[in-house]
Amino acid sequence: MKKTVLAFSRITPQVVERLQQHFEVIVPNPANGDINAQFNEALPHAHGLIGVGRKLGREQLQGAANLQVVSSISVGYDNYDLAYFNERGIMLTNTPDVLTESTADLAFALLMSSARRVAELDAWTKAGQWQATVGPQLFGSDVHGKTLGIVGMGNIGAAIARRARLGFNMPILYSGNSRKTELENQLGAQFRELDQLLAEADFVCLVVPLSEKTRHLIGQRELALMKPSAILINISRGPVVDEPALIEALQNNRIRGAGLDVYEKEPLAESPLFQLKNAVTLPHIGSATHETRTAMADLAVDNLRSALLGERPQNLVNPQVWK
C-alpha cells in the first residue's frame, strides 16, 4: 500500500505529479471549503508533509499518528518545533543551497534600491513631480567603493560578498561564528566583531538564521553604533531586527535607510514602515523566482521521497532521528 503525503501549502501540479508516482497525495483545495479543516481531517493519514509557511509543532501535529517526515520547501526552519520533532522521531528536511544565488541577487537589489532611492524616485516620477533636473535633495549614495558589512557569512553571505567585491570594488567586513579564511584570501574580507562592523560599514547586510541568540540581534543600541549615512539590509528573518527600534531610527534619520524583505510579523498588511521614504519594503521574495522555486520544490520532493522509501534524505535537519 502506498504511503500518504499531505501538502500544507500550495504546491504546483508538477510537484503533485511527481509525488503521485510513489504516494497517495492529498492537497487541500479552497474550492472544497476551509483549508485548515481539510488539513486536520487528512493529518491522521499522512506519513509525510510537504510545504512551507505553516507553523508545525506539538499543538498542530498531535493527531499525526503516522507522520514520519516533514519536507519544508525552504531553507529556514524556525516555523517548526524541532525539539518536538526530535521527541517524536519525525524527520525534518529543508532545501539549502539552491536559493543561494537568487537570494544574493535580491539582497543586492535592495542595497542598490536603497542607496539610489529607486523605489522612492519611481513613485515621485510617476506622481508627476519631475518638473526639472533633480537637485541635491533627491540625490542618492554611491555603492561602488563603499564598505559592506555582512552579518552571517554563510553561503548566501559569501555570494553577496562576491558580488560586492568583484562587481563594485567594495571592501568586505564580516562577523559570525567562525573565520572564513578562503573568503579572506579570495576577496580580502576582514573579520570584525559585530559592534566594530556596525561602526565601520556603509551598508550592513543581515544574513543570519533566526535563533534565540539572533532574535533582536539588531536593536536600539546596535542601530546607534551605525553611521548616520549607513543603510541596513535585512534578508534573514524579521525578528533578527527590533522593528520598533528600526522604525524610530529611520524616522529620526539616525541611519540613512533600510532595505527589508522580512518582518517581525508576516504577511505585513499595515506598518509605519510603509510611510517612510527611506525604507524599501518587499514581501519576503528572496527566493521568489520561477527557476529557484522550481528547484526548491524539486529538492523537497527528493527529500520526502528518500525519507518515505527508507533512504537517508540529502538535507536532513535533525540527523539524530535517523534510524
Q: Say yes or no: 47 and 129 in one domain.
A: no
pTM for the structure as a whole: 0.91
Alpha-carbon torsion angle 15, 19, 20, 25, nearest 10:
-90
Domain check: are 276 and 189 in the same one?
Answer: yes
- pLDDT at residue 323, as a whole number: 75
Q: How many domains does the chain have?
A: 2
Q: Which amino acid is at 117?
A: R
Could you tell me if 238 and 120 lie in one domain? yes
Residue 74: all three cell numbers together: 525552504
Per-residue pLDDT at 219: 98
- Both 242 and 229 in one domain: the answer is yes
CATH code of the domain covering residue 36: 3.40.50.720
Domain boundaries, position 145: 100-281
Q: Are 225 and 80 found together in one domain?
A: no
User: Consecutive 10-residue runs of the chain (323 residues): their mean pLDDT?
Assistant: 96 96 96 94 98 96 96 94 97 96 98 98 97 97 98 97 98 96 97 98 97 97 98 98 98 98 96 98 97 97 98 97 88
The region, left, alpha or beta by phi > 0 then psi within -120 to 50, assigned to residue 128 is left
Tell me how far apart the alpha carbons of residues 118 and 125 are, in angstroms, rounded to a whole number: 10
Q: State the pLDDT at residue 1.
A: 86
Cis peptide before 272 (omega within 30 of 0): no
Residues 297 and 273 in one domain: no
**227 and 114 both lie in a single domain:** yes
Are 82 and 110 found together in one domain? no
pLDDT at position 140 is 98
Residues with catalytic roles: 237, 266, 284
